Structure 1
């Protein structure tokens, strides 16, 4: 699928902002156990980065009365792209507002939008540069996350979500799950701007909601070291699913819940998508290998629980709408 020509260039998923109820507890979990690095903090937020990051942060922890996702953000190539995106969303009559340069720590001018699927999404061109930790091997710990790789979202109509991200924002599909003919409806899609399997996955489910964000690891043993660190620190119950390997993406993974229940994935071993015109890998909805190539099926809560998102206008949590269709999941009771 070739996306339409658009007057802006989204480069990659840039960061995600998690809401947490205890900022210090969450900071210690992500830094001391997971192995991210604290770049900065203030009274309301802690800014974290991974070893490949050359920008100020890839995860922000925001003090809040409830858990969830405040927003996720895509990096664009230039300031002119931000103006083009503003015009794009204005035509769609979507709620949006500007965050001025310097209003957020280390961050340039940023456009915050409630997209057509209901997600709070930011677009930015500049974050302050930071020291590159890739070869600071003496600082690497535990799973050693290398970057924020992707975000996985739930929406009642994943076909509509696929069309929005491909036609509206210029993403390309690496893999899709679709129903059997004659309907052949898309139930989930893995969509990219950078040259890996996905920057965002759009799945059928009650939404808008965020299922997880994925942190890439340097190599497979990082998954085991992360699990050992979690167990050794008394967080074994935070390991929700895995270790196992996905059929979709081919990645080795483990899913983890932070102290507030926010979900993230530690993920390694996917593949490059440098041939941007290659047709997507297609999976049948009834093929359980798409979820788990090997390893136990997901637990029930992996399907039934997700992270709420909020209105950029009121700050109130957005009520989830039921999915248009229901798959029959394969899970552990």
Structure 2
């Protein structure tokens, strides 16, 4: 039986999922999709780099799009915020001492930033402690477009060695809100980990990796989901509405998945439930509980099961890609 051992006094303080950096083949085309369909706000565009945020977000960006010949389901990294600059120095010391890598880098529109790999086979993660603040557009209704995306919520990644990755994140203070296990062996198949007050900042599953399955953003209501899908259809991306609308049983969330012009998968979800008190224990399901996990609707298409975004310069390893197929009705 899996018994999570969460570090209550982590070596440094990660506060939430923060931002993702994608390489894209056609920045102009990508910007139409992200602003007109999904409803992101353009914070800045500097040459071949664009910075976007949701209408509820005050910090400068949650999505960075980088013009590159290497575009086409390629991400540079995912990002996490830490509470202070001191946490970055503690993070560097801890990560390097425990077999990972960490180096300070310069990023426009971010304070001091530490590029890390927590352990071999885990996704590259940028840690930053601050960003410039811009006006929220939550109440600026004339400026809102598309699905009126509110804010970034979580990432879902696959990793080749799930037990090692899970132990590393639990040691950094992440709490599991739910996980699935194999009905025969009890092996953990996927796990939802959180640092903020809802069920997920990062979701991990076992498969050849590291790879990024999707990035999820919160929208206000079901109408925002339908509006984004309708606009996608009008602008020629109707067949890139990949899966949904549907419901993930836990945490009772409505979802839809889009594919951007480079094939990166974006999930829209309604505001998820709170998961914040220490006595709130994780939910556990086994590999036969698909009806509870996805209570209605058909399963995802095959490409949803198999196609993912690669991290730049990292070749996935650690087992067959087909391993993901057994997990696809178990995660969100």
The normalised TM-score by structure 1 is 0.91
Q: 1:10 aligns with which of 11, 14, 32?
A: 14
**1:276-295 equivalent positions in 2, closer than 5 A:** 276-289=278-291, 291-295=293-297
| Structure-1 separation of matches of 2:253 and 2:230 | 19
Q: Which residue of 1 aligns with 2:250?
A: 248
| Structure-2 separation of matches of 1:49 and 1:208 | 25
Deviation at 1:164, TM superposition (A): 1.7
**1:150-299 equivalent positions in 2, closer than 5 A:** 150-167=154-171, 169-180=172-183, 183-289=185-291, 291-299=293-301
Q: Which residue of 2 aligns with 1:41?
A: 45
**1:301-316 equivalent positions in 2, closer than 5 A:** 301-310=303-312, 316=313
Matched, 1:76 2:82: yes
Q: 1:321 aligns with which of 307, 318, 325?
A: 318
Whether the 8 Å contact between 2:305 and 2:328 is mirrored in structure 1 is no
Q: Which residue of 2 aligns with 1:105?
A: 108
| Structure-1 separation of matches of 2:31 and 2:255 | 22
Q: 1:91 aligns with which of 73, 94, 97?
A: 97
| Structure-2 separation of matches of 1:248 and 1:156 | 25
Q: Which residue of 1 aligns with 2:23?
A: 19
| Structure-2 separation of matches of 1:329 and 1:12 | 25
**Any idea what SS the aligned residue of 1:241 has?**
strand
**Any idea what SS the aligned residue of 1:145 has?**
coil
| Structure-1 separation of matches of 2:142 and 2:320 | 47
Deviation at 1:28, TM superposition (A): 1.4
What per-residue deviation string (whole Å, max 9, x for no partner) do you get for residues 174-205 of structure 1? Answer: 11011125x31110001111111100000122
Deviation at 1:232, TM superposition (A): 1.6
Distance 1:328 1:109, change over 3 A: closer
Q: Which residue of 1 aligns with 2:58?
A: 54
Structure 2, unpaired ranges of 5+: none
Q: 2:139 aligns with which of 135, 139, 143?
A: 135
| Structure-2 separation of matches of 1:193 and 1:234 | 38
Whether the 8 Å contact between 1:172 and 1:276 is mirrored in structure 2 is no
| Structure-2 separation of matches of 1:290 and 1:199 | 22
Deviates more, 1:77-86 or 1:63-72: 63-72
What is the number of residues matched between the two proteins?
321
**Any idea what SS the aligned residue of 2:263 has?**
coil
**Any idea what SS the aligned residue of 2:150 has?**
strand
Whether the 8 Å contact between 2:189 and 2:327 is mirrored in structure 1 is no
Whether the 8 Å contact between 2:255 and 2:270 is mirrored in structure 1 is yes
Whether the 8 Å contact between 1:72 and 1:121 is mirrored in structure 2 is yes
**Any idea what SS the aligned residue of 2:200 has?**
coil
Deviation at 1:324, TM superposition (A): 9.7
Distance 1:133 1:276, change over 3 A: farther
The normalised TM-score by structure 2 is 0.91
